[in-house]
Amino acid sequence: MAQMNMLQAINEALSSEMEADQTMTVFGEDVGHFGGVFRATSGLQEKFGRDRCFNTPLTEQGIAGFANGLASNGMTAVAEIQFADYIFPAIDQIVNESAKFRYRSGNEFDVGGLVFRTPYGGGIAGGHYHSQSPEAYFTQTPGLKVVVPRNPEQAKGLLIASIRDKNPVIFFEPKRLYRASVGEVPEGDHVIELGKAEVVQEGSDITLLGWGAQMEILEHAAEKAAKKGISCEIIDLRTLSPWDVDTVAESVKKTGRLLINHEAPLTGGFAGEIAATIQEECFLYLESPIARVCGLDTPYPLIHEKEYMPDALKTYEAILASVNF
């Protein structure tokens, strides 16, 4: 296996799929010769030409509409939205067109092979226009898949799976891990099944659930809890839509407790949907209320980023409160 950071893993996934699929195009703001603002598409235009990796105008709605057009004609379209904060102008195209294309045509047409890649989340001092986590907005939309990797190996395997999937996928990339996360990545064809969570660490006292960059936070909190004799089971959801209810419910029935951590604000965050479902599935097994450790219900604050983040200390304190309930 090769040692890569997350950006290199994403680049390798795109390159290998472009080699295998001559209909695949990669496009977005500055993704061509410049290689994207984070350099995730570096070298692709030089390798595959300007017809298959190219810049678009600065219009997210236009990018999404163009992607729908390509995909509906049988091409594999991978569109980059430069920051997840700017995906909102494209919501009409994604939610009303991409997600419903197959349904409204009675399965005559579809936009399978369509992926929207976008960096999300804080931790880079980006302020309120470059730090948001909007994944929950899209989990309520039937017809879309929502995927979030936590490390380079997942970034490659989940991105390849997303590109090959016959449904439109929004692929959220935790940008604070782009260069910070380094690990072994399998060479060649590497696919991770969508819709399947991963039990990262087994435990017996409480289940900790998260995705993306927050998995590192959960691991740090679990290490603190272990020093107090608390055994934490850690699960990476990986795919938010559809999410793996069975794996989470099986864990909670074993531990009796659940803590969900995500960077998006508490109100309306995806943790609320998980909590409601697990309460229905595991009510008689719960030893304490399901806990949520999330971002604050405020615009993302530049100078108070540290206070906003659902960090390891907040998570550790919530673990103690749940176990001692």
Active-site amino acid positions: 60, 130
Q: Give CA–CA dist 144/146, Å, rounded.
A: 7
SS3 234: strand
What are the beta bridge partners of residue 76? 24
Q: Is 240 exposed, middle or buried (0-12, 13-18, 19+ CB in 10 A)?
A: buried
212: which 2 tokens?
A: 């993306």
Q: How many CB atoms lie within 10 A of CB 308?
A: 18
What are the beta bridge partners of residue 236? 198, 210
The residue among 287, 292, 294, 288 whose CA lies nearest residue 274 is 292
Q: Give CA–CA dist 256/206, Å, rounded.
A: 7
Q: Are 61 and 9 in contact (CB under 8 A)?
A: no
Q: Is 250 exposed, middle or buried (0-12, 13-18, 19+ CB in 10 A)?
A: middle
Q: Give CA–CA dist 105/302, Å, rounded.
A: 45
The length of the chain in residues reads 325
SS3 184: strand
The residue among 205, 208, 271 whose CA lies nearest residue 234 is 208
The residue among 242, 180, 246, 247 whose CA lies nearest residue 215 is 180
